[in-house]
């Protein structure tokens, strides 16, 4: 797996814990949705617990534990399955301020979409990382300089720029 942050391939400070693996005493770990309640109970409330969730997750089921989480990874089962983009919006709207990660077969061509919907990082399998190297992700982070939409994360909305230009 490769992790992209700010248009760069970076090392991952989080470790994905397999369900059969015992909970470690320390370190940042990402657990499955099924194991989340147990992990939080065992670790107490601190931000070293992350969770990977399905893109069909209802935000209401997650809302109570959001303040206890340091990371939420939303899985993208296929790059063309855009449910994760809407779920990211809902998670941000619910007040989550930790790291929001898109995990799956995302393409560099979707990086701007991911950032716009509130993701911080993208985690991709090695075969994509080999074909789409860091330079492509770095370029992709700059392909949508201004967006027509307001209310999304971007380097600026066109409407706001128009306003400024008219002053």
Stretch that binds another protein, among 18-26, 28-36, 38-46, 104-112 (CB under 8 A): 104-112
Residue 131 touching another protein (CB under 8 A): yes
Residue 126 touching another protein (CB under 8 A): no
| DSSP conformational letter for 18 | P
DSSP string, 36-53: HHHHHHHH-S-TTEEEEE
Stretch that binds another protein, among 1-9, 42-50, 65-73, 153-161 (CB under 8 A): 153-161
Q: Which residue has the tokens 């935000």?
A: 59
Q: For residues 93 and 78, what is the distance between their CA atoms, to the nearest angstrom?
A: 24
CB of 57 to another protein, least distance (A): 10
Among 33, 82, 120, 134, contact with another protein (rule: CB under 8 A)? 82
Closer residue to another protein (CB): 4 or 17: 4
Closer residue to another protein (CB): 16 or 152: 152
Using only C-alpha atoms, the chain has a radius of gyration, in whole angstroms, of 17
> By the 8 A CB rule, do 36 and 65 touch?
yes
CB of 132 to another protein, least distance (A): 6
Per-residue interface string for the shown chain with another protein, residues 28-67, x marking contact by CB under 8 A:
----------------------------x-----------
**Per-residue b or e along 120-131, where b marks 16 or more CB atoms closer than 10 Å to that residue's CB:** bbbbbeeebbee
């Amino acid at each position: 797996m490769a992790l992209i942050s700010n248009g760069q391939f970076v090392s991952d400070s989080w470790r994905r814990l397999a369900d059969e693996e015992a909970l470690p005493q320390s370190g940042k770990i990402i657990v499955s949705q099924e194991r989340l309640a147990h992990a939080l109970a065992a670790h107490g409330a601190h931000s070293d617990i992350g969770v990977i969730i399905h893109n069909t997750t209802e935000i209401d089921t997650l809302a109570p534990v959001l303040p206890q989480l340091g990371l939420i990874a939303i899985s993208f089962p296929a790059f063309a399955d855009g449910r994760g983009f809407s779920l990211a919006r809902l998670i941000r709207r619910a007040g989550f301020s930790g790291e929001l990660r898109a995990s799956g077969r995302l393409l560099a061509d979707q990086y701007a979409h991911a950032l716009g919907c509130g993701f911080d990082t993208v985690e991709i399998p090695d075969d994509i990382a080999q074909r789409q190297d860091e330079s492509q992700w770095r370029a992709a982070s700059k392909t949508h300089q201004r967006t027509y939409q307001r209310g999304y994360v971007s380097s600026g909305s066109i409407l706001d720029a128009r306003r400024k230009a008219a002053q």
